[in-house]
Chain A
């Protein structure tokens, strides 16, 4: 799952070196639009919808993995 997320983030933002603890805003200095674009790429990949107000709670890579796991997505 981490590899998939690394690929998505690289494709959208060009950022590398992503770990479970990477914080989108504090570590990658992404703005709200970048974060939304990443979430949109997750949505497309998993064919799901992540409500915008829930995106606010996804600060780190592990938050995204936990969120997707709660929705039943564990496999790439």
Chain B
């Protein structure tokens, strides 16, 4: 496919190259508009306007600079979604430092390992993670911890309020001009699942991140109230949802806890939502559960059938019952932007019948993250949309490869993996696909050995295999996703184990399985729900292997 010509006139939003410009621009353009809202546990709504958001960022940035933070320093952020997460991020990147976005859903030891590998000397964290990270302060891996919530009971820990106050006083006395930051300066380090057991650290530049946001504006128009419960430590949540909403001057509602996501979704009454298939399915299931409890499931199914027929005949779909159902189940929602994993065609179509447009997109952390997305005005259900205008897209033996300004700078401290992933600027996504005559991209499978879940999370089986191999009775193990439903990403994590014959002597198959299950349960206890092994089976023979003695994954599933 040829690169599509574009020019700045295509952009429906202002264009920025660096974060200091971005902050100055959104403050000037959208000043008094509400920028960011969230709900407290008692369901009180808190809001910051664009002016307040950018002023707070300037205060915190000044406070950080007073701490002697040099340009290019790495600063890690480890917290649940919150307004302070966003402000800390903006403060760090707008003074030319690098924000390291740490995955909060990892085990304690992996979190510490991630912070250490990133070379972050300053760490913003919420109280949930304080006890996990204090040892890093003791060992000198981290020089300073800033606590984002609650009082700091340890004198080595600085509360974020102190940095705000210090910065605010200094800014009031003598405001500093926006720092001069280079386009090529790394802005974010985001962790991603790789084909090795250790996650890779993707470096995204200032220009790369902002280009990705601006490019998406050509295809997708948000409405005015946007809801996001995606974690900010992923590029999808941070760049495509949070920063993208600010770029457009819309009002972002954030959710800090999956437990209250549904509650906050209803409270915020959004018209636009960026999400993953898991959440779309949850909304869908909840809607049908309510209908079933009211004994109206059969009537609704018949109505849906009629609506589908109208659509096929290009007749307007106007049914009062469907409108009432939408109002009750989905409120003011009109646009769902879905990414991270595959969303079924049936679900997309059902939402469309209810009057909610579903735009499926496709991205990967290494591309900041968006690669392609459907358009409000041209939506092909089943495709992942049109490639962004500044990205070149090539299919190499079916594998999607992309090149352009938003592609990563490389993996931090990993030249070997960088060289494997980037070839003359082309990034090999590991996904297989094709494009149709109109240029829409369709994904058909994966070349890389990754298991993708409906919540958009990915895991390399090697990571779990390494943990399972530590069980003495395990001689060989392979982890894979077993189909658990109608769709490709509906998977059940399964461990197939070849037990060590010497250690199993005299034991029945049942005893071996019981012992292994107990050991797997112990490992599961320290893993987030989506990473837990759900099925264990034992095999009587060794796995078939390649010439280099690697397990042949596809032959053994």
CB atoms of A56 and B279 under 8 A apart? no
Instruction: Given A14-B289, A31-B455, A57-B525, verify A40-B263 contact (CB < 8 Å).
Output: yes
Please state if A26 and B534 are interface contacts (CB–CB under 8 Å). yes
Given A14-B289, A55-B529, A56-B525, A36 and B259 contact (CB-CB distance below 8 Å)? yes
* Contacting residue for B282 out of A14, A33, A57, CB 8 A: A33
Determine if A53 is an interface residue (Cβ-Cβ < 8 Å): yes
Which residues B77-123 have CB closer than 8 A to chain A? 80
B535 / chain A contacts, CB cutoff of 8 Å: 26
Instruction: Produce 1/0 per residue, A48-66, CB < 8 A to B.
Output: 0111110111010000000
Do B258 and A52 touch (CB < 8 A)? yes
Are the C-beta atoms of A56 and B527 separated by less than 8 Å?
yes
* Beta-carbon nearest neighbor of B527 in chain A: A56
Docked complex Cα distance between A22 and B529 (Å): 15
Q: Does B184 contact A (CB under 8 A)?
A: no
Shortest Cβ distance from A59 into chain B, in angstroms?
7
CB distance B289 to A56 under 8 Å? no
The smallest C-beta distance from A8 to any residue of chain B, in angstroms, reads 13
State the main secondary structure of chain B at its contact with A: helix
Tell me whether B529 and A56 are in contact (CB under 8 A): yes
Shortest CB–CB separation between residue B324 and chain A, in angstroms? 22
Q: Taking the complex as formed, is B484 at the interface, i.e. its CB lies under 8 A from any CB of chain A?
A: yes
* Whole-angstrom CA separation of A52 from B544 in the bound complex: 40
Interface residues of B in 54-90 (CB under 8 A from A): 80
Alpha-carbon distance A32/B457, docked complex (angstroms): 11
Q: CB-defined interface of B518-541 with A at 8 Å, one 1/0 digit per residue? A: 000100111111101011000000
Assess whether A37 is interfacial by the CB under 8 Å rule: yes
Give how many A residues have a beta carbon under 8 Å from the other chain's beta carbons.
24
Question: Which chain B residues (395-443) contact chain A, with CB distance < 8 Å?
Answer: none
B3 at the interface (CB under 8 A from A): no
Q: Is the CB of A25 within 8 A of B282?
A: no
- Cβ B289 vs Cβ A31 within 8 A: no
Q: State in angstroms the CA–CA spacing of A47 and B532 once bound together.
A: 28
A57, B524: Cα distance in complex, Å = 8
Hey, which chain A residues are within 8 Å of B41, CB to CB? 49
- Determine the chain A residues whose CB is within 8 A of the CB of B292 once the complex forms: 14
Judge if A18 is at the interface, Cβ distance under 8 Å.
Answer: no
Q: Are A33 and B128 in contact (CB under 8 A)?
A: no
Q: Are A32 and B529 in contact, CB atoms less than 8 angstroms apart?
A: yes
Question: In the complex, what distance in Å separates the CA atom of A33 from the CA atom of B257?
Answer: 11
Given contacts A33-B279, A52-B258, A59-B524, whether A25 and B455 have CB atoms under 8 Å apart is: no
A29 within 8 Å of B by Cβ?
Answer: yes
Q: Is there an interface contact between B282 and A32, defined as CB atoms closer than 8 Å?
A: no
The interface bits of chain A over 12-38 (1 if a CB of B lies within 8 angstroms of the residue's CB, else 0) are 011000000000011001011111110
Chain A CB count within 10 A is highest, among B524, B529, B534, for B529
Chain A hits for B455, CB < 8 A: 31-33
6 residue pairs from A and B, CB less than 8 Å apart: A13-B285, A14-B289, A33-B258, A33-B282, A36-B258, A36-B261
Q: Given known contacts A33-B258, A56-B528, what 17 new A-B pairs fall within 8 Å (CB)?
A: A13-B289, A14-B285, A26-B535, A31-B453, A31-B530, A32-B258, A32-B278, A32-B528, A33-B261, A33-B282, A34-B282, A35-B529, A37-B259, A40-B260, A49-B41, A56-B529, A57-B525
Q: Please list the 10 inter-chain residue pairs (A to B) with the smallest Cβ-Cβ separation, ordered nearest first.
A: A40-B259, A32-B529, A36-B258, A32-B530, A36-B259, A14-B289, A33-B282, A33-B278, A26-B534, A35-B529
